[in-house]
Amino acid sequence: MSSSGHDGLFDGLFGRGLVSVSDEDWLSAMLDTEAALARALERASLAPAGAGAAVTKAARADQFEIAELGRQAQLTGNPVPALVRALTALVPAEAREAVHRGATSQDVIDTAVMLLAKRAITVISADLGTAADRTADLAAEHIGTVMVGRTLLQQAVPVTFGLIAAGWLTALDETRAELNRFAATRLAIQFGGAAGTLASLGESGQELADLLAAELDLPAPVLPWHTDRTRIVQLGGALATVCAVLGKIARDVTLLAQTEVAEVAEGGPGRGGSSAMPNKRNPVASVLILGCAKRAPGMLATLVSAAEQEHQRAAGAWHAEWESVADLLRLTGSAASWATDLLAGLRIDATRMLANLEAAGGLPLAEHVAAELAASLGRLEAHDLVARASARAKELGISLPDALLSDAAAATALHNAGIGAAELAAAANPRSYLGSAAPFVRRALAAHQKLRDSVT
């Protein structure tokens, strides 16, 4: 037997949490499909009474040797034929006709993928919900915590950390909703037989497909989707989007946690050490979320490229999906699990945020100062005057108000506009230029609460 999939050197990093897509999970999902098919056959009177129970009793992963199934797969291109033979040998003779009847290997593997995805999405969605709740707490707590906004990695106008957290929150909520919508509308069994006609079942094929879907608690699709891979691409897209959202949060944290910035810090006892530098406290959770998230686009690209498949069965493209889907489920689950840890322990230094903003000497408020001058000077002239003063402030290491007041031309323009030192100080006050930051945060919190209420 192979390992559980959680004991390896990197499994605690990239397989964190409760999403599991180990060999045992794959095998269990395939056996669940075979057992459900046997029960459906019995319900359709296509197998003798008791056959469904007999196959279900035999279809337990601990009764199969995964390594041997893997070796046999080399002969057929996938592990299902060997699995069917092994399962048949465990079933009483009178029930053997219920094993795999009407199905093809792709039916079993594709349905197993849907079962794995359903189970994984349940876990991922729960973790996203936990992360969103914590982010909502941060947004509410820091609705008035002023900090420097940053665009193109340069200081911009002031924002609040509450608004930053609200942005994370909205992305988490919307992505979780899309993931749940996919699970509710696009997961489906695969059951089409040799070429999508279920010809071996005569006129009972469609009925049996519906019974199989009911047994597995998965929807029955309109048609078998052997070479229509939109479900797989959409699954990959939903998972990659989750990774992108979590990666955005983690990237923000790594930037705000830099030593020179130090506006946030990860929690977690004993975490963040360096093998070479005892002084360091690295943002481990953020780094590992990014490590998971950066692999997702490549896997999604594989699924998209594999979607172009020949006729009624693909030659290689279908095979390319298996490990890509499994890895994407595992990495998304790990990233979501790390995100709950990151956000639960994230520490916000509001004092440092304000200090960093004040150290900029009013420059982040240049837009506000220019707007105050525009009524007297005109918008473009005011913009150019403040731009020259900003450059002078940087060059001399003085504040923007001081740069304006100490320049003769600027001082004259200010005087003519009725703007003095007090008015400049007010214009350079970051709390006077936050616009709709607070209303936006409240809107995000209300949307989050509405989503929570709809789920509960």
Pick the closest to residue 243 from 124, 403, 371 (CA basis). Answer: 124
- Confidence at residue 272, expressed as pLDDT on a 0 to 100 scale: 54
- Which residue type occupies 147? M
Listed in order, strand segments (DSSP E) in 105-250 are 146-151, 154-160
* Neighbouring C-beta atoms of residue 130, cutoff 10 Å: 18
Pick the closest to residue 252 from 337, 177, 173, 348 (CA basis). Answer: 348
3-state secondary structure (DSSP) of residue 28: helix
**Is 275 labeled as catalytic in the residue annotation?**
no
* Neighbouring C-beta atoms of residue 335, cutoff 10 Å: 35
**Is 313 labeled as catalytic in the residue annotation?**
yes
Q: pLDDT (tens digit, 9 = 90+) per residue, 374-411?
A: 888 889 988 999 999 999 999 999 999 999 999 888 88
Judging by beta carbons within 10 Å of its beta carbon (0-12, 13-18, 19+), is residue 435 exposed, middle or buried?
exposed
- Confidence at residue 425, expressed as pLDDT on a 0 to 100 scale: 87
- Confidence at residue 280, expressed as pLDDT on a 0 to 100 scale: 55
- Regions of the chain short of the pLDDT cut 70: 1-6, 268-280, 456
* Neighbouring C-beta atoms of residue 114, cutoff 10 Å: 24
Rounded distance between C-alpha atoms, residue 321 and residue 317, angstroms: 7
In contact, 37 and 101? CB cutoff 8 Å: yes
- Confidence at residue 400, expressed as pLDDT on a 0 to 100 scale: 92
CA dihedral sign of residues 366, 367, 373, 379: positive
Q: Which among 2, 3, 200, 274 is annotated as catalytic?
A: 274
Q: What is the DSSP string of 394-443?
A: HHHT--HHHHHHTSHHHHHHHHHTT--HHHHHHHT-GGG--TTHHHHHHH
Helix (H) or strand (E) holding 265: strand 264-265
Q: pLDDT (tens digit, 9 = 90+) per residue, 122-167?
A: 999 999 999 999 999 999 999 999 999 999 999 999 999 999 999 9
- Confidence at residue 420, expressed as pLDDT on a 0 to 100 scale: 87
Cα Rg of the chain (Å, integer): 30
Query: What residues contact residue 214 under an 8 Å CB cut-off, 6+ apart?
Result: 40
3-state secondary structure (DSSP) of residue 269: coil
In contact, 313 and 227? CB cutoff 8 Å: yes
3-state secondary structure (DSSP) of residue 309: coil
Rounded distance between C-alpha atoms, residue 83 and residue 63, angstroms: 11
In contact, 246 and 289? CB cutoff 8 Å: yes
**Structure-block tokens of residue 117:** 């995805």
Judging by beta carbons within 10 Å of its beta carbon (0-12, 13-18, 19+), is residue 260 exposed, middle or buried?
exposed
Q: Which among 251, 281, 295, 313 is annotated as catalytic?
A: 313
User: CATH homologous superfamily for 105-354?
Assistant: Fumarase/aspartase (Central domain) (1.20.200.10)
- Confidence at residue 4, expressed as pLDDT on a 0 to 100 scale: 42
Helix segments in 186-295, DSSP class H:
205-216, 230-256, 284-293
Torsion of CA 443, 445, 448, 450, to 10 degrees: -70
